Structure 1
Amino acid sequence: MGTDTDADSDRDSARDGAWISLFSGGKDSSWALYRALETGLAVDRLVTVHPTGDSYMYHVPETDLATLAAESIGIDLLDVEPDDFDAADATDSGTQGDDELEPLEAALRDLDAELSETGSGGIAGVTAGAVESEYQTSRIEAMCERLECDLFAPLWQEDPRELADEMLAAGFEILIVQVAAQGLDESWLGRPLDEDALADLEALNEEYGVHVLGEGGEFETLVVDGPHMDRRIDLEYETEWEGTRGRIRVSEARLE
């Protein structure tokens, strides 16, 4: 198994077979997918995990919108519903992360067999949008080792502000859909992640330690438009605020 962050080296060394993109519709997984497509990797399927509650491994809010995003992107989506996992049963965060990965790995094994049977060569590699989380990345790396496939993680250990600037320069339109950190109030819900927001986030990083890309779970996002999408996602929503954290609740979503 190889872990690549450089686009040119990944294109040159890529295995035969299909690439699978771990995809939530958020900015990080969307950027990993976009970079993979720009590199020429043959992304055959998007895979979205729908956690039933708080998750250490996955983006949680509004993952149902990944279906619309996949339609706009033009790549088939595989939904993974880890209904058999209850976070309350986990004895610690490490156990929870390992258990949360099991439904995803099982789904990828089934997909690998399906792709092999149809002559696509099985799974060549997986894309992931991790930036700094050893917790997530080490588990995804280990999963790829077991699946005998490569991992493409183009955001890994890159400068957060530079990554954000690259996303905006490429034409990503990003909305903040959940916040859970000191300094982030209800006014951030539904706010575009643009240059003004990034400047405010850098100030909040200095004051409270808020990660500019929300890598610590400070906020979650949804990409509603980008160069890899044919149609923009239009949303109608309400906000829910619980004193120190909140999220949007989408009432209607459509492709423009």
Structure 2
Amino acid sequence: MDRTDGGWVSLFSGGKDSAWALYQALERGLDVTHLVTVHPAGDSYMYHVPATDLTALAAESIGIPLVDVEPEDFAAESATDSSAQGDAELEPLEAALCDLESDLESDIAGVTAGAVESEYQTSRIEEMCERLECDLFAPLWREDPRELADAMLEAGFEIVIVQVAAHGLDESWLGRTLDEDALAELEELNEEYGVHVLGEGGEFETIVVDGPHMDRRIALEYETEWDGTRGRIQVTEARLE
């Protein structure tokens, strides 16, 4: 498959990985016409969960229309295991893409995704793209995590940690900016506890509040929620500066 007609759709959670995939697509001249955000109702095997409501602000700053896939579109509660849940979670996304394609004047040329190492996610997205007869652009796939993180910072991404759930990551990480010092600490935690430098195993989640692809920075006010082993920020106000 190699569609040269039609626009690209970016799977977009607002986190660093999906934002980097979008940014790389734009840098390569791909015509990204829509962002698509999936909003799971609870924990998800397939999708980034926290702070996805901020993607509307991010999309406004980026200047690309956003399509939301809401929790009521999910049928994953009927799944009996992780594999079945992943398949069920993919269904509303695929349906949304089919609906979007029917509304467009041309076919979807391809989909961008921010997966780094997850075969679970990537294999399902690849299969979905095959069914939709479109291409997949996954520029982070199996790249060196530290090199990816460095590239994001060098490009000007401002990345905020919004959720942590791993040994070595305490409440002080909530709301912390992912900078060179944080990356150095994460590499130490990787050696001690196996924490992934990019949080690929769900150790932490992020949002990108500013970057070269954004016209305006997202300003946040928040409170922290911490249960002793894991936590997240609860955004109380968000606006574009």
> Which residue among 180, 186, 190 is the counterpart of 2:171?
186
2:213 equivalent to 1:228:
yes
Deviation track 1:70-128 (CA, whole Å, cap 9, x = no partner) reads 0000000000013143554321100000000000000000111111xxx3x21000000
- Report the TM-score when normalising by structure 2: 0.98
Unpaired segments of 5 or more residues in structure 1?
Answer: 2-12
> Following the alignment from structure 1 to structure 2, what is the Cα–Cα distance between the partners of residues 14 and 87?
32
Instruction: Call closer, same or farther: CA 1:86–1:143 in 2, change over 3 Å.
Output: closer
Deviation track 1:14-72 (CA, whole Å, cap 9, x = no partner) reads 52101000001000000000000000000000000000000000000010000000000
> Following the alignment from structure 2 to structure 1, what is the Cα–Cα distance between the partners of residues 235 and 62?
20
Q: Secondary structure of the residue that 1:166 maps to in structure 2?
A: helix
Corresponding residue of 1:113: 102
Corresponding residue of 1:5: none
Corresponding residue of 1:213: 198
> Following the alignment from structure 1 to structure 2, what is the Cα–Cα distance between the partners of residues 130 and 84?
23
Check conservation: 1:24, 1:49, Cα contact below 8 A.
Answer: yes
> Following the alignment from structure 2 to structure 1, what is the Cα–Cα distance between the partners of residues 194 and 227?
21
Corresponding residue of 2:9: 20
Check conservation: 2:39, 2:49, Cα contact below 8 A.
Answer: yes
Corresponding residue of 2:27: 38
Corresponding residue of 1:122: 107
Q: Counterpart of 2:34 in structure 1: which amino acid?
A: R
Q: Secondary structure of the residue that 1:83 maps to in structure 2?
A: helix
Identity of paired residues, percent? Answer: 81
Corresponding residue of 2:18: 29
Check conservation: 1:82, 1:103, Cα contact below 8 A.
Answer: no
Q: Secondary structure of the residue that 1:103 maps to in structure 2?
A: helix
Q: Counterpart of 1:38 in structure 2: which amino acid?
A: E
Q: Counterpart of 2:68 in structure 1: which amino acid?
A: D
Unpaired segments of 5 or more residues in structure 2?
Answer: none
Corresponding residue of 1:82: 71
> Following the alignment from structure 1 to structure 2, what is the Cα–Cα distance between the partners of residues 213 and 234?
23
> Following the alignment from structure 2 to structure 1, what is the Cα–Cα distance between the partners of residues 211 and 3?
25
> Which residue among 70, 76, 88 is the counterpart of 1:99?
88
Q: Counterpart of 1:149 in structure 2: which amino acid?
A: C
> Following the alignment from structure 1 to structure 2, what is the Cα–Cα distance between the partners of residues 89 and 211?
31
- Report the TM-score when normalising by structure 1: 0.92
Q: Secondary structure of the residue that 1:175 maps to in structure 2?
A: strand
Deviation track 1:179-201 (CA, whole Å, cap 9, x = no partner) reads 00111000000000000000000
Q: Secondary structure of the residue that 1:211 maps to in structure 2?
A: coil
> Following the alignment from structure 2 to structure 1, what is the Cα–Cα distance between the partners of residues 186 and 49?
21
Corresponding residue of 2:120: 135
Instruction: Call closer, same or farther: CA 1:14–1:171 in 2, change over 3 Å.
Output: farther
Corresponding residue of 2:137: 152
> Following the alignment from structure 1 to structure 2, what is the Cα–Cα distance between the partners of residues 139 and 154?
17
Count of residues paired in the alignment: 241
Check conservation: 2:3, 2:134, Cα contact below 8 A.
Answer: no
Instruction: Call closer, same or farther: CA 1:73–1:215 in 2, change over 3 Å.
Output: same
Instruction: Call closer, same or farther: CA 1:137–1:245 in 2, change over 3 Å.
Output: same
Deviation at 1:219, TM superposition (A): 0.3
Corresponding residue of 1:245: 230
Corresponding residue of 2:152: 167
Root-mean-square deviation (CA), in Å? Answer: 1.0
> Following the alignment from structure 1 to structure 2, what is the Cα–Cα distance between the partners of residues 15 and 188?
43
Deviation at 1:255, TM superposition (A): 0.2
Corresponding residue of 1:7: none
> Following the alignment from structure 1 to structure 2, what is the Cα–Cα distance between the partners of residues 193 and 156?
20
> Following the alignment from structure 1 to structure 2, what is the Cα–Cα distance between the partners of residues 25 and 85?
20
2:183 equivalent to 1:198:
yes
